[in-house]
Amino acid sequence: MRVLFCGSGRFAVPSLRAIYQSPHELVGLFTQPARPAGRGADLRATPIAQAAAELGLDVVECGDINADPAVAAIRAARPDVICVADFGQMVRGAVRDAAAVDTINVHGSLLPKLRGAAPINWAIIRGHEKTGVTTISLVDRMDAGDIYLRAEAPIRPDQTADQLRDTLADLGAKVLADTLDLLEPGTARRMPQDDAEATTAPRLKKSDGRIDWTADAVTIRNRVHGTWPWPGGQTAFRRANGGKAIPVLLARAAAEPGPEAGPPGEIDGELCVEAGSGRVRVGELKPAGKRLMRWDDFVNGYRVQPGDRFEPIET
């Protein structure tokens, strides 16, 4: 089949590679434009554009896939199937109609659960024990099209959103390849989603990373892991004798049962942090303006003592 691919982020790269290595013909590749990044604000190409360069593929950087020039170029490519993964733009009817068979999307959840821009993050934040990937037929409503295939993946207690994204990206590539193999002979079956079971996964805001130490330890751990690397688990370190609070981002944490001997946020005699229920053993963190470091290095460098505390970040 003739396949046209629209993708931008890291999640989409394994899917592009799967199509490139498949018997199907890649007839077009669209991605978001390069954007300023880093302190120097240098233009940075999308992960898909970088992967295309490695594979020797031509790629179109497109700010609006639904604009007339883009639609005309897609029609001229005569795709049988348009594949969309981590693209960053809504794909409207004029584009979808250019596909002779269908326009399909690779989504990082077990739809209809977690429709939206950040399903991987919210699966962890909300404490789900499993998630997965789904291929669907694209429609105007967000992530609401008929399902082709789904595949599950467990969520480990030590897994950050960054790590889970890579796992699901590889799984999504396989599910996409299987979907294309079913679409070619016309044997693919579509299953409507049950809207009554739908939940949402909105794009993360910076405030979604703020840690409430009165919550239980598992909830705090999920917040830390689900928001890494952005916006990160936001809190502030302050010594027991006062002084200026140091903003930090927590990157890894473990939830443990504890005696709850002190108030939430206080560091106990084993250098764990008291929670509303249980305690949190910090694994890695990033003080403001510093590198990511292990908890032991932070303890030694900042001379952390029992009675010091983490507290809510100032707004």
What value, to the nearest 5°, has the Cα angle with vertex 79 and ends 76 and 85?
A: 115
pLDDT grade, residue 297 (50/70/90)?
very high
The class of domain 206-311 in CATH terms is alpha beta
pLDDT grade, residue 137 (50/70/90)?
very high
- Round to whole Å and give the CA distance between 75 and 70: 9
pLDDT of residue 39: 65
pLDDT of residue 262: 87
What value, to the nearest 5°, has the Cα angle with vertex 233 and ends 225 and 251?
A: 55
For the full predicted model, state whether its pTM sits above 0.85. Answer: yes
Per-residue pLDDT reduced to its tens digit, 252-289: 999 999 776 789 999 999 999 999 999 999 999 999 99
With beta carbons less than 8 A apart as the criterion, state whether 84 and 106 touch: yes
Is the pLDDT score of 19 beyond 90? yes
- According to DSSP H, which parts of 184-260 are helical? 217-226
Per-residue pLDDT reduced to its tens digit, 229-254: 999 999 999 999 888 999 999 999 99
Percent of the chain whose pLDDT exceeds 90: 93
Is the pLDDT score of 314 beyond 80? no
Per-residue pLDDT reduced to its tens digit, 144-161: 999 999 999 999 999 999
**If you average pLDDT over residues 65-89, what whole number do you get?**
98
Among candidate residues 51, 70, 59, 225, the one with its CA nearest the CA of residue 155:
225
Per-residue pLDDT reduced to its tens digit, 35-57: 877 666 678 899 999 999 999 99
SS3 31: strand
The pairing of beta strand 279-287 with beta strand 273-274 = antiparallel
What six digits make up the tokens of 125?
């934040």
Provide the CA 31 distance to its chain's centre, in angstroms. 18
With beta carbons less than 8 A apart as the criterion, state whether 194 and 180 touch: no
The pairing of beta strand 293-294 with beta strand 42-44 = unpaired
Is the pLDDT score of 131 beyond 80? yes
To the nearest whole number, what is the mean pLDDT of the chain? 96
Is the pLDDT score of 59 beyond 70? yes
Quick count: other Cβ atoms within 10 Å of Cβ 34? 14
Domain boundaries, the chain: 2-197, 206-311
Quick count: other Cβ atoms within 10 Å of Cβ 302? 15
For the domain 2-197, what is the CATH superfamily, name and number? Formyl transferase, N-terminal domain (3.40.50.170)
If one compares 37 and 59, the residue with the highest pLDDT of the two is 59
Cis geometry, peptide bond prior to residue 257 (ω within 30 degrees of 0): no
Collect all residues with Cβ–Cβ distance below 8 Å to 229 and sequence separation of at least 6.
160, 161, 162, 251
Collect all residues with Cβ–Cβ distance below 8 Å to 21 and sequence separation of at least 6.
none
Q: Which amino acid is at 48?
A: I
Paired with 277 in beta bridges are 216
pLDDT of residue 260: 66
